Amino acid sequence: MTTPNLSGGAGLHPAAADAGLLAGGIRSAGLKVTAPRLAVLRALTDRPHATADALFGAVRADLPGTSLQAVYGVLASFTTAGLVRKIEPAGSPALFERRVGDNHHHIVCTGCGVVHDVDCAVGHAPCLTPADALGFDVRAAEVIYWGLCAQCQAETALP
């Protein structure tokens, strides 16, 4: 006899286990919990830096009636509420992620387009303190590092 552990993030079926957490996250962002919102947030939990299209593909399995337009609507409400962060690397469709509030940055491969999180260059969000803020109250800094990922380097290095 074991008690299901609903709080752990390392469960075998995190998507099923954290439905309560997902609903709580939506509520604490000041939004009403709806089936499409739950489905999109769940899909995003498993797919950091996903496009709306990719999320729509994932959500459609759970909610066959969902439209791409509905997914865009959910993402817009999440982004406005601060529940989700939207990043827009040049030349890529907008990407969405649940990791918010820490001003982390991204590194993008110019070969295959893979995106990874990069912590602030040094210490805790020092990028928010520019040499001269020109009187602005700076709230966010977006840094995107561009380069060739290790796998693409290995592939280009082949004789």
Known binding site for Zn(2+): residues? Answer: 109, 112, 149, 152
- Looking up tokens 């309560």 gives 20
Q: Is 94 helix (H, G, I), strand (E, B) or coil?
A: coil
- Looking up tokens 């295959």 gives 112
Q: Which two tokens stand for residue 119?
A: 């912590």
Mark residues 84-103: x for contact with Zn ion by CB under 5 A, - for none: -------------x------
Q: How far is the CB of 64 from Zn ion (least distance, A)?
A: 30
Q: Please state, in angstroms and rounded to a whole number, the distance separating the CA atoms of residues 2 and 82.
A: 37
Mark residues 134-153: x for contact with Zn ion by CB under 5 A, - for none: ---------------x--x-
Q: Which two tokens stand for residue 120?
A: 């602030």
Nearer to Zn ion, 117 or 119 (CB): 117
Applying CB under 5 A, does 117 fall inside the site for Zn ion?
yes
Residue among 38, 43, 74, 109 that touches Zn ion (CB under 5 A): 109
Q: How far is the CB of 147 from Zn ion (least distance, A)?
A: 9
Number of residues that bind Zn ion (CB under 5 A): 7
Residues in contact with 154: Cβ distance below 8 Å, sequence separation at least 6, in sequence order: none
CA nearest to 47, candidates 61, 35, 33:
61
Applying CB under 5 A, does 111 fall inside the site for Zn ion?
yes
Q: Please state, in angstroms and rounded to a whole number, the distance separating the CA atoms of residues 54 and 47.
A: 9
Pairing of strands 105-109, 115-118: antiparallel
CA nearest to 113, candidates 153, 154, 149, 150:
149
Nearer to Zn ion, 23 or 152 (CB): 152
Residue among 112, 121, 128, 154 that touches Zn ion (CB under 5 A): 112
Mark residues 42-81: x for contact with Zn ion by CB under 5 A, - for none: ----------------------------------------
Q: For binding to Zn ion (CB under 5 A), which residues are involved? A: 97, 109, 111-112, 117, 149, 152
